């Protein structure tokens, strides 16, 4: 559908708690038969002010040392945030359907107020006065979307999409110099930045096969993604992921009941490697597996104003490349994270009942649900000899042999 006319909107916001500003504008119009849309937004927020005593610090007493009280700054350090976003889109529509493309760019910088990295004082050396830990993001995407109306007896229409995305998240550390009486200029160790990069290409289509008796659609989708981490905290080797998805959906009225059913099959291949930091050996892995998910819903009207719906869904998920192949320290979170290439797929079973009441003047609804997850994938903390390690494990796979394996790969954070 074409834009009916020209529209322009703009906004400006000022915040006192962080001395921040937010501004945006958006323009759309039909120019020469083409729908054109352009938008821009920018947000700049400083450190957030907090009342005195709002930030609580853990106090440790050291034998022979006087207790040190940190100066109350009146704000949360490293809580600043800046982002700038630009989008542009153009499309053409007609009785045959529509075709359009868009480009989006998002850049941001934000501080990390509280993190897990601890700086301990060494003999003859004072603690760093202040450390700045922050992240920057840069995201670009190009998208093509369209729909083709068809007059065939089987296929009513085809909706298709293509998206190419590049995403970079960089975590950086900057330590300020601390002037001491004995050392006029002291240089502190600086951490090299770490970049988390992802490049993906995705395309798919939805075929509408509906008729007078039922609604039904067939979906397919293909995703290729390359992930890599480069820098001081590169806790994962480069990895690739290829996914092919085939889905089916139908909705049909059967007597007093409405039945919805959906099925999805994902053929997934993930490739990566894990480096043994002690010996330098590299183990390569290729995980090729298929997951199946389905959902069914049954609903009916109990009266003119009350409906009830019953639903059941079983969703299977294969571990991500990070859950499989991560292996190293992540200083921004203050922990050593280790994946498990032997993880199996996770299955979530959900059952729900919903009552929906609407008499025109009042409406209400109530939902009851049960969720059960088999082979749940989670990060598990292991403490040994005053050291900590976080390891990706499935709950049903936790054995004494695996705990022994964890203790052999522990490092001080």
Per-residue model confidence as pLDDT tens digits over 121-139: 444 444 444 667 889 999 9
φ, ψ dihedrals at 321, nearest 5°: -65, -35
Q: How would residue 81 be classed by pLDDT, with cut points 50, 70 and 90?
A: very high
Q: Coil, strand, or helix at residue 107?
A: strand
Q: Measuring CA to CA, which residue among 104, 102, 164 is closest to residue 139?
A: 104
Residue 353's pLDDT is: 96
- For the stretch 91-107, pLDDT in tens is 999 999 999 999 999 99
Is there a contact between 113 and 88 (Cβ–Cβ < 8 Å)? no
| CATH architecture for segment(s) 130-179+191-407 | Beta Barrel (2.40)
For residues 115 and 140, the model is more confident at: 140
The C-alpha atoms of residue 242 and residue 238 are separated, in whole angstroms, by 14
Q: What is the mean pLDDT of residues 38-53?
A: 92
The CA dihedral of 49, 55, 60, 65, to the nearest 10 degrees, is: 40
Q: Does the structure show a pLDDT above 70 at 31?
A: yes
Give the whole-angstrom CA distance, residue 138 versus residue 199: 12
Rounded CA gap, 200 and 357, in Å? 44
CA distance 160 to 148: 8
Stated pTM of the model: 0.78
DSSP letter assigned to residue 162? E
What are 273-312's pLDDT values in tens digits? Answer: 998 877 778 999 999 999 999 999 999 999 989 999 999 9
């Amino acid at each position: 559908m074409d834009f009916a006319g020209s529209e322009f909107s703009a906004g400006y916001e000022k915040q006192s708690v962080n001395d921040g500003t937010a501004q945006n504008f958006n323009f759309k119009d039909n120019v020469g038969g083409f729908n054109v849309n352009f938008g821009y937004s920018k947000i700049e927020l400083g450190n957030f002010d907090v009342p005195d005593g709002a930030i609580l610090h853990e106090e440790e007493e050291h034998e022979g040392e006087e207790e040190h009280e940190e100066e109350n700054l009146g704000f949360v350090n490293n809580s600043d945030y800046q982002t700038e976003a630009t989008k542009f889109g153009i499309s053409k529509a007609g009785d045959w359907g529509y075709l359009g493309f868009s480009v989006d760019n998002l850049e941001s910088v934000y501080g990390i107020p509280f993190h897990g990295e601890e700086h301990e004082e060494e003999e003859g050396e004072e603690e760093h006065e202040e450390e700045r830990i922050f992240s920057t993001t840069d995201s670009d995407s190009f998208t093509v979307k369209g729909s083709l109306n068809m007059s065939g007896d089987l296929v009513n229409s085809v909706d298709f999409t293509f998206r190419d995305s590049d995403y970079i998240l960089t975590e950086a550390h900057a330590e300020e110099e601390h002037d001491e009486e004995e050392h006029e200029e002291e240089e502190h160790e600086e951490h090299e930045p770490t970049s988390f990069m992802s490049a993906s290409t995705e395309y798919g289509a939805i075929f509408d096969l509906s008729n007078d008796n039922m609604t039904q659609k067939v979906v397919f989708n293909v995703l290729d993604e390359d992930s890599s981490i480069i820098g001081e905290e590169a806790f994962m080797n480069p990895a690739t992921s290829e996914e092919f998805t085939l889905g089916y959906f139908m909705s049909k009225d059967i007597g007093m009941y409405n039945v919805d059913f959906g099925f999805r099959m994902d053929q997934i291949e993930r490739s990566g490697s894990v480096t043994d930091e002690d010996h330098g050996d590299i183990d390569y892995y290729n995980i090729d597996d298929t997951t199946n998910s389905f959902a069914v819903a049954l609903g009916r009207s109990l009266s003119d104003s009350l409906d009830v719906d019953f639903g059941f869904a079983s969703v299977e998920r294969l571990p991500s490349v990070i859950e499989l192949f991560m292996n190293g320290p992540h200083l921004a979170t203050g922990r050593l994270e280790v994946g498990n290439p032997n993880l199996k797929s996770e299955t979530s079973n959900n059952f729900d009942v919903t009552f929906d009441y609407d008499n025109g003047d009042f409406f209400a609804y109530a939902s009851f649900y049960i969720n059960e997850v088999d082979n749940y994938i989670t990060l598990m903390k292991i403490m040994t000899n005053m050291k900590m390690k976080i390891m990706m494990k499935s709950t049903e796979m936790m054995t004494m042999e695996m705990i022994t394996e964890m203790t052999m790969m522990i490092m001080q954070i």
